[in-house]
Structure 1
Amino acid sequence: MTWKRRFLYNAMILTGGAVALRLTNIAFRVFICGQLGDSGMGLYQLIFSIFSLAVTACTSGVSLAVTRLVAEGNGVRPSVGRCMVLALLISGLAGLVLWCGSGWIAAILLGSPEAARPIRLLVPGLPCMAVCACIKGYFLAVRNTALPAAGELLEQVFTIGAGMLLMSRITPLDALMLGSTLGEASSCLLLGLCFLCTVRRNPGGRAGKGRVATRKVLHIAAPVLCGNFVRSTLNSTENLLVPRGLKQYGAGAAGSLAQYGIMQGMVMPILLFPASFITPLCSLFIPELAERAASGRQKSIQRMARLAMRLTLLFSFIVTTLLIVFAEPLCNLFFNNTQAGVLLRIMAPIVPLMYLDSIVDGMLKGLDQQVSTLKYNFSDSLLRVLFIAVLLPVFGMKAYVFVLFFSEIFNASLSIHRLLKVTDLTVDVVDWVLLPAVTGALLYYFLSFLTALI
């Protein structure tokens, strides 16, 4: 199988899995909104914003390190083993901090003491996430995307099924968190068994000296881990500041959580759902570009980057048009919330930069530019926190929308500039920007004409 066919095959599998996951996630969020309400949805999002710090600590960097090391020809078992030990150590430390500090986090940071138990229920899932991250990195390196997709689907099934079954026995919030932990455990069990069977049949090549391999792991994983953890910390700070800023603006305690829940729990899932058709390419680009960079195939790297930029912008301009035209019907259909539709239409124009930034980030990691992405992400997150702390108490939700727009423009501009410099590409304004924009505009007028007739 040629690399193009292999790439398309893996992209189709990952895309199909991502679309299925996003669809079931949106449907599950509709159910959660019905059980928790807008303010409960806000608290649910805040709990996961804190938990994401621990998830970032034990998964960020290790998956990329495994993918890069295996794709570059290092031994499978030493690469996965070293990364897994690192991930498990970090997950144990992160879980201990969460478990011991759950009371303080719930009462002081979240302002809801009842959130302590849900936080503790999430802790046992951290080691499972750490193991899964390493195994997924290996399967991605060997271009086997079917097994990671199957693991994610199994996780989603267990998370949703267990959560719904447990709601009749314990509180809805506890049921959702315990369901999430059971889902992670099921995925870890499946992927672990598949990995052991695969490695036993094909043990892979020899590794270099242990000290060299460890240094390689840290060279790849440490910048990504540090950068993602710092950014995740800032993001969690941002998520805590948003409800407080809206409350200071005059929304009230329940109202501020409701507004935050609408944006993060309703608008953003719909805004990001179409990205499931292209985000699998981000992970697929890493081993492909790593191989080409290691062998010095600059022209091949340029062709791949050029094609990715063009197709991503064409797709995202079409998505922007569809979201602008159908924003309110979509939000009414899924969440029965008109305010979410208004916010979705306002946020739609940022989609091209949002999607392009994801693709560019994946390509930069494949080209060993993770330190640059660390700097950009840190600067972006720091500015977001500062703007939210200063502007939200004065301007409310309008300021939050402005911050989201500014963040995407700032981060995407830096990342795109870095990719162009590393690959020595020049921007084709007509092919990359003008034609996709004209396509989106024509589609808008066509859909507007159809809706007027109907």
Structure 2
Amino acid sequence: MKKDSFFIKTLVLTVSNIVTGILTFSYSIILSKEIGSQGMGLYQLIMPIYSMLLFISGGGITTTLSKISAEKKARGKMKELYETINVIVILEIIWSIFIIIVFSLTARFMANSMLKDIRTYYGILALSPAVIIISISSAYKGAYYGLQRVVEPALIDIAEKIVRISCMYFFVKLSKNLSIEYRVAAAVASLSCGEITSMLLFLFAYNRYKNKHPSYEKPQSSMKLALNVLKLSIPLGLNGIFSTIFNSIISVLIPQRLVTSGLSYEESLSLFGKLEGMALNIAFFPSIILSSFNILLIPSISEAVTFNRSEAISDRINAAFKVSSLTAFSSCALMFAIPYKLSVLFYKDIEVGNILYYIALTLPVFYISMTTYTILNGLGKQGKLFLNSTIISIIDIAILYFLLPIDFININAYAIDIVISSFIAIILNTVVIKKSLKFKFNWFEIIILPALISFFDYIITK
């Protein structure tokens, strides 16, 4: 991919992600007003289960097919790409149906024993339809990103978010006279409405692309093509499964350990909802810029690795760090300067500002650590990524377990954890990157200059 083309496509994705990010942010604002902070707490308890199901049913497929698509296109083996997608979609359908059956039978156990709140039961059941839908669309989405076609996925993501918000608002209003667990389940059900829209549009766009770009070479056997995908996706899937298991533990751990600090369970659940469902939405909103860059970074690095273009790899990595650093320091300056204004503006809740004040300080190290994970993916270091992610998750749990019950730290233990775990992640991932290729970290352009610019931003904003 030419340098100009890479940045043009990144710009297209950034604009798209800003739109979808605004829509997602609007979703959280509307939802918080409709179901309150306790409802948001229940909703956030369910979300790690949702993520875990997606990783079990099709973890790593989007990233893997993005990488494989870039390689197949670079080598002109489009027939093998089409055959790979067909095989993976069939496998995804069969596997997802099995997962949904097992999942439905164990939903009550998950609500009672894992999440420790029976009110999440109907919300967990409401996730089922989305699992098979997302598993199928993930294959087409990965292929599109690997082909570096960004317009179709961008428009489809916008359509999906609009449908999701519309359905959520309709379902929650429809259930307004019911108890909180049914209203949360109604909100969860809206995920399926958005995802089925996404799947149908991706299927239409993919078939249209395939008809315009026919290929007639003889591909490898279906079994070999499937094994090539599974070889890469299984480590990513395991990483995702373990990450979501750890996230589920953390989601349950936070309200439980807050109770130990002297709060009631309802107060703890409400505070958890304000953290996960409100403050983090504001703090991580700028990450949509990084998402745009990172989506194209993986296939771009994979393509450069295929042809041993070390200079191109180094350029991409430097650019990725610069973008993440500038985004992170600028966001930190803004949110640290006016956290209460932002929380009242979006959620009409000043307590969210107390949480955001400390979370803002974590953004530089957190955003840069996100980029190091993406680079490992692009370099094909899925095994190392899995190992490092597991180490970080264990550290997360340990820090939160010991710090949350301390009354003067309380929910701010989450911010302390982000700083410590992100620093360790950067060190672990950078060691692997440096061993894989020659790369010189430009401290001035990546750290010092963005930090200075953000300091002046803070002074002006304050």
Q: How does 1:303-382 map to 2 (within 5 A)?
A: 303-382=315-394
* Aligned residue number for residue 203 of structure 2: 192
Deviations 1:15-39 (A, max 9, x none): 1221112212222212211221111
Q: Which stretch of structure 1 is more off in the superposition, 368-377 or 348-357?
A: 348-357
* Aligned residue number for residue 7 of structure 1: 6
Q: How does 1:216-295 map to 2 (within 5 A)?
A: 216-295=228-307
**Alpha-carbon deviation of 1:206?**
4.3
* Aligned residue number for residue 179 of structure 2: none
CA distance in 2, matches of 1:34, 1:108: 29
* Aligned residue number for residue 451 of structure 1: none
Whether the 8 Å CA contact 1:65–1:83 is kept in 2: the answer is no
CA distance in 2, matches of 1:379, 1:234: 11
Structure 1: stretches of 5+ with no match in the other structure: 449-454
CA distance in 1, matches of 2:188, 2:319: 41
DSSP-derived class of the 2:361 partner: helix
* Aligned residue number for residue 159 of structure 1: 164
CA distance in 2, matches of 1:34, 1:216: 46
CA distance in 2, matches of 1:267, 1:277: 18
**Alpha-carbon deviation of 1:100?**
1.0
CA distance in 1, matches of 2:134, 2:107: 20
* Aligned residue number for residue 172 of structure 1: 183
How does the TM-score come out when normalised to structure 2?
0.92
**Alpha-carbon deviation of 1:58?**
2.4
Counterpart of 1:422 (choices 429, 436, 450) is 436
How does the TM-score come out when normalised to structure 1?
0.93
Whether the 8 Å CA contact 1:282–1:361 is kept in 2: the answer is no
RMSD: 1.8
Whether the 8 Å CA contact 2:70–2:146 is kept in 1: the answer is yes
Q: Which residue identity does 1:148 align to in structure 2?
A: P
**Alpha-carbon deviation of 1:436?**
1.5
Counterpart of 1:411 (choices 421, 425, 431) is 425
Deviations 1:365-387 (A, max 9, x none): 11111111111111111221233
Whether the 8 Å CA contact 2:257–2:404 is kept in 1: the answer is yes
CA distance in 1, matches of 2:412, 2:29: 25
Q: Which residue identity does 1:48 align to in structure 2?
A: M
* Aligned residue number for residue 80 of structure 1: 85
Deviations 1:140-175 (A, max 9, x none): 111111111222212211111112122333342232
When the two structures are aligned, how many residues end up with a matched partner? 447
* Aligned residue number for residue 55 of structure 2: 56
Whether the 8 Å CA contact 2:404–2:411 is kept in 1: the answer is yes
**Alpha-carbon deviation of 1:89?**
3.6
Q: Are 2:415 and 1:397 equivalent residues in the alignment?
A: no
Whether the 8 Å CA contact 1:54–1:91 is kept in 2: the answer is no
DSSP-derived class of the 2:82 partner: helix
* Aligned residue number for residue 213 of structure 2: 202
* Aligned residue number for residue 446 of structure 1: 460
Q: Are 2:308 and 1:296 equivalent residues in the alignment?
A: yes
CA distance in 2, matches of 1:203, 1:408: 45
**Alpha-carbon deviation of 1:211?**
4.1
DSSP-derived class of the 2:173 partner: coil
Distance 1:164 1:441, change over 3 A: same
Whether the 8 Å CA contact 1:76–1:203 is kept in 2: the answer is no
Counterpart of 1:112 (choices 99, 109, 117) is 117
* Aligned residue number for residue 144 of structure 2: 139
**Alpha-carbon deviation of 1:333?**
0.3
Q: Which residue identity does 2:28 align to in structure 1?
A: R
Whether the 8 Å CA contact 1:61–1:221 is kept in 2: the answer is yes
DSSP-derived class of the 2:338 partner: helix
Q: Which stretch of structure 1 is more off in the superposition, 278-287 or 305-314?
A: 305-314
**Alpha-carbon deviation of 1:329?**
0.6
CA distance in 1, matches of 2:345, 2:402: 35
Identity %: 20
Counterpart of 1:93 (choices 83, 90, 98) is 98
CA distance in 1, matches of 2:253, 2:227: 38
CA distance in 2, matches of 1:315, 1:160: 27
**Alpha-carbon deviation of 1:224?**
0.5
Deviations 1:304-324 (A, max 9, x none): 212222232123212211111
Deviations 1:53-98 (A, max 9, x none): 1022223211122112221124222221233234334422332232
Whether the 8 Å CA contact 1:248–1:393 is kept in 2: the answer is yes
Q: Which stretch of structure 1 is more off in the superposition, 20-29 or 253-262?
A: 20-29
Q: Which residue identity does 1:137 align to in structure 2?
A: G
Q: Which residue identity does 1:418 align to in structure 2?
A: V
DSSP-derived class of the 1:251 partner: coil
* Aligned residue number for residue 153 of structure 2: 148
**Alpha-carbon deviation of 1:390?**
3.5
**Alpha-carbon deviation of 1:135?**
0.4
